[in-house]
Amino acid sequence: MRFDVITLFPELFAPLLTSGITRRAYESGLVEVQFWNPRDHAQGHYRRVDDRPFGGGPGMVMLAEPLQACLSAIRASRGEVVAAQAPLVMFSPTGKVLNHAAVSDWSTSSGAILLCGRYEGIDQRFIDQYVDCHISLGDFVLSGGEIAAMALLDAVARLQPGVLNDEGSHQFDSFNPALDGLLDCPHYTRPEVWQGQAVPEALMSGHHAQIAQWRREQSLRLSKQLRPELIAQARSQGLLTPQDETFLKAEAVQSHKPTA
């Protein structure tokens, strides 16, 4: 798959592509990433890519012309037919929040063109005419779209075959269908006792069924405490077993017991 990134700061992506486990995806070509700077497609001596907003106000607005020229160059480079053009994705507070399901879809796609805005925003006329999809990381504002683009690229890269040391490890990440969309359980390693805290007995038992039950219960407990909407979602989809419901009911009773 191929991702083309429109950004004024391509140098920000260097650590992402060359560090950590996910670099395997980029080095192997499983995920191809190319960068396009709108300044290279701007006119005039100063290669200007922004201007003051009509109506006044703070900040600057990215010009439509350099972005359009940059996008045209990308389309030509990709050699796409109009009917099969890669979607132009813009990172914006107006977008749908990125989640596991969306990442899974992108991980099996042919890629996209990622638009990283800067300054006060992008000329709305360019957005209206060319942007196909809006993505948000949450209800907060970043200095630009680069961090959001890196989040998408990293999440997609780690799902590619051969990128992680254990092919099945991502299947038990939080929000994964293998966990019924719940949070992952806590994890422990050596030493067995650290600062007076011991590893839970179930994990030391060697009993696979007991270990699996402990992990399921911890997943349920964390999800109920921190993300109760995940429990409600799993319940509405019929994913919780009678044993799950019994455990959750017991947890609810325990949490409401008066303390001495």
Q: Hey, what are 152's tokens?
A: 């998408």
Least confidently predicted of 70-79, 160-169, 240-249: 160-169
Give the per-residue pLDDT at 198: 98
Give yes or no for residue 226 having a pLDDT over 60.
yes
**Residue 83: what residue type?**
A
Q: Calculate mean pLDDT across residues 236-240.
A: 98
**pLDDT > 90? residue 170:** no
Choose, from 93, 177, 186, 228, the residue flagged as catalytic. 93
**Spatial separation of the C-alpha atoms in residues 145 and 134, rounded to whole Å:** 11
What number is the average pLDDT over the span 140-156?
97
Q: Is 215 a catalytic residue?
A: no
pTM for this one?
A: 0.91
Q: Could you tell me the pLDDT band of residue 213, with boundaries at 50, 70 and 90?
A: very high
pLDDT at 35 over 80: yes
Domains of the chain, start order: 2-157 (3.40.1280.10), 173-255 (1.10.1270.20)
Given this model, what pLDDT does residue 149 score?
Answer: 98
Q: Which of 158, 216, 217, 244 is catalytic?
A: 158
Q: What number of residues does the chain have? A: 260
Please, what is the Cα angle at 251 between 205 and 170, to 5 degrees?
55
Query: Active site includes 242?
Result: no
**Of the listed 24, 48, 78, 173, which one is catalytic?**
173
Please say if the pLDDT value at position 39 is more than 70: yes
- The answer on pLDDT for 95 being more than 60 is yes
Specify the pLDDT at position 260. 54
Q: Is the dihedral of CA 201, 205, 210, 216 positive or negative?
A: positive
Average pLDDT over residues 82-91: 92
Q: Containing H/E element for 228?
A: helix 228-236
Distance CA 184, CA 187 (A): 9
Residue 169 has pLDDT above 80, yes or no: no
The secondary structure of 83-124, three-state, reads HHCCCEEEEEEEEEECCHHHHHHHHCCCEEEEECCCCCEECH
Q: Is the pLDDT of residue 167 over 80?
A: no
Of 10, 75, 87, 120, which residue is the catalytic one?
120
pLDDT value at position 55? 97
Contact 174, 182 (CB under 8 A): yes
Please give the average per-residue pLDDT across 78-98, as a whole number.
93
CB 193 within 8 A of CB 187: no
Separation between Cα atoms, residue 201 and residue 193, nearest integer Å:
11
Res 259 pLDDT > 70:
no
Query: pLDDT-derived band of residue 256, with 50, 70 and 90 as boundaries?
Result: confident
> Taking Cα atoms as reference points, which of 139, 56, 37 lies closest to residue 92?
139
Share above pLDDT 90 across residues of the chain, in percent, rounded to a whole number? 89
- The string of DSSP codes covering 174-193 is TT-GGGTT-PPPP---S-SE
Average pLDDT score over residue span 39-47: 93
Provide the pLDDT for residue 45: 87
The chain-wide mean pLDDT, for the chain, equals 95
Query: Would residue 158 show up in a list of annotated catalytic residues for this protein?
Result: yes
Kindly tell me if the per-residue pLDDT of 83 is higher than 90. no
Is 125 known to be catalytic? no
